[in-house]
Amino acid sequence: MTHISLAVSLLLAVAAALAGSGVASAGLDEGKAALERGDYATALHELSPLAAIGDSRAQFYLGRMNEDGTGVPQNESEAAVWFRKAAEQGHTGAQYYLGRLYYNGQGVPQDLAEAASWYRKAAEGGHAGAQFYTGKFLFDGLVAERNVAEATQWFKKSAKQGDARAQFYLGRMNEDGIGMPHDGAEAAVWFRKSAEQGHTAAQHHLARLYDNGVGVQQDYAEAARWYRKAAERGHADSCYRLGVMYAAGQGVDRDYVQAHLWLDLASLKLQGFDERDEALKLRDALSEKMTLAEKTKANRLAQNWIQQQHVRSGDD
């Protein structure tokens, strides 16, 4: 083959590759857009050929579709197959989701060591959720000896990317002095970041700081505000504390109906017998001060909450 012929062949090959890449990119964009608008048949049509020829992004999307049962019957085993194909090519999202399947034993046998391995790969690639779980595995000593110092570094990486769970852990560590000095003010900073994203336990802990004046200026109104946010998401201790505050008129106007409501809900959620008994005793003591109309209203409100499934676990 002459040099000219070789050069022409190389140019043609490059042109074909670029054209193919453009088609693949277009198909991926169309598939992703179809997913976002809920057109799963089109998404499957566009993504399946790309996934079959090894496009890791398309493989990841097929994994998500199979995991969630969108456009295809839910099949976590099939999801694991597609996540693995993408993960082995370095797709951080797929690495994270594959780690999660191993962590929960969904579609694959539960294997914490395998989960930790995939989480770490994704964490090293910058995935915030994987950074949180890598920190959690180290903090809890799930597959190796506990390493709070390294866990802290991963939590910080994740928290700086906005992961509410990592922010909550850093709040707890500062509040309790785990791996660092006690620092209520720093705890409040992290709890607030997490709480503002709707993390229920962080809302409760931030409320508690305001309630007790730890790390922040004591402010019962602010405490009640955050207790209410957590209570509305079913956090048992927040339900109890909010009920107490309504009963005493602390940070809120005294309101026996609201106090009765929240104490009633707390009694359904509190785990310890003594805590439940305390909530019930306080609720019943309030009942003696209430009119029949007030008690009827409080009971109706509680029943409505239960029916609407607002009483649920608030521990994230």
In whole angstroms, give the CA distance from residue 26 to residue 316. 39
In whole angstroms, give the CA distance from residue 96 to residue 108. 14
DSSP string, 197-210: TT-HHHHHHHHHHH
Residue 129 has pLDDT above 70, yes or no: yes
Residue 99 has pLDDT above 90, yes or no: yes
Given this model, what pLDDT does residue 17 score? 40
- Report pLDDT digits (tens) over 58-89: 999 999 999 999 999 999 999 999 999 999 99
Percent of the chain at pLDDT exceeding 70: 89
Q: Tell which residue, 172, 200, 208, 203, has the closest CA to residue 316.
A: 200
Residue 309 has pLDDT above 70, yes or no: no
Q: What angle do CA 292, 293, 298 make, to 5 degrees?
A: 100
Given this model, what pLDDT does residue 301 score? 93
Mean pLDDT of 283-305: 94
Residue 272 has pLDDT above 90, yes or no: no
Given this model, what pLDDT does residue 313 score? 42
φ, ψ at 258 (rounded to 5°)? -65, -40
Whole-prediction pTM value?
0.86
Q: Which residue has the tokens 């106090």?
A: 259
CA distances, 180 to each of 33, 113, 136, 153 (Å): 46, 27, 16, 12
In whole angstroms, give the CA distance from residue 98 to residue 86. 10
CA distances, 169 to each of 150, 177, 181, 212 (Å): 13, 12, 14, 20
Q: Tell which residue, 225, 268, 264, 230, has the closest CA to residue 245.
A: 225
Cβ-contact 249, 226 below 8 angstroms: no
Q: Determine if residue 213 is left, alpha or beta; phi over 0 gives left, psi from -120 to 50 gives alpha, anything else beta.
A: left
Mean pLDDT of 122-145: 97
Residue 22 has pLDDT above 50, yes or no: yes
Q: Which residue has the tokens 């930790």?
A: 116
Given this model, what pLDDT does residue 4 score? 40
Percent of the chain at pLDDT exceeding 90: 86
- Report pLDDT digits (tens) over 225-260: 999 999 999 999 999 999 999 999 999 999 999 999
In whole angstroms, give the CA distance from residue 212 to residue 177. 17
Given this model, what pLDDT does residue 23 score? 54
Burial of 9 (0-12, 13-18, 19+ CB in 10 A): exposed
Given this model, what pLDDT does residue 74 score? 97
Which tokens go with 45? Answer: 């049509």
For the chain, the domains span 199-316
Residue 13 has pLDDT above 50, yes or no: no
Cβ-contact 60, 93 below 8 angstroms: yes
Q: Please state the CATH superfamily assignment of the domain spanning residues 199-316 in this structure.
A: Tetratricopeptide repeat domain (1.25.40.10)
In whole angstroms, give the CA distance from residue 247 to residue 278. 14
In whole angstroms, give the CA distance from residue 119 to residue 245. 43
Interacting residues of 49 by C-beta distance below 8 A, sequence separation 6+? 27
Residue 135 has pLDDT above 80, yes or no: yes
Find the DSSP H helices in the chain.
3-36, 40-52, 56-68, 76-87, 92-104, 112-124, 128-140, 148-160, 164-176, 184-195, 200-212, 220-232, 236-248, 256-269, 273-287, 292-307
- Report pLDDT digits (tens) over 186-229: 999 999 999 999 999 999 999 999 999 999 999 999 999 999 99
In whole angstroms, give the CA distance from residue 129 to residue 97. 10
State the chain's mean pLDDT as an integer: 91
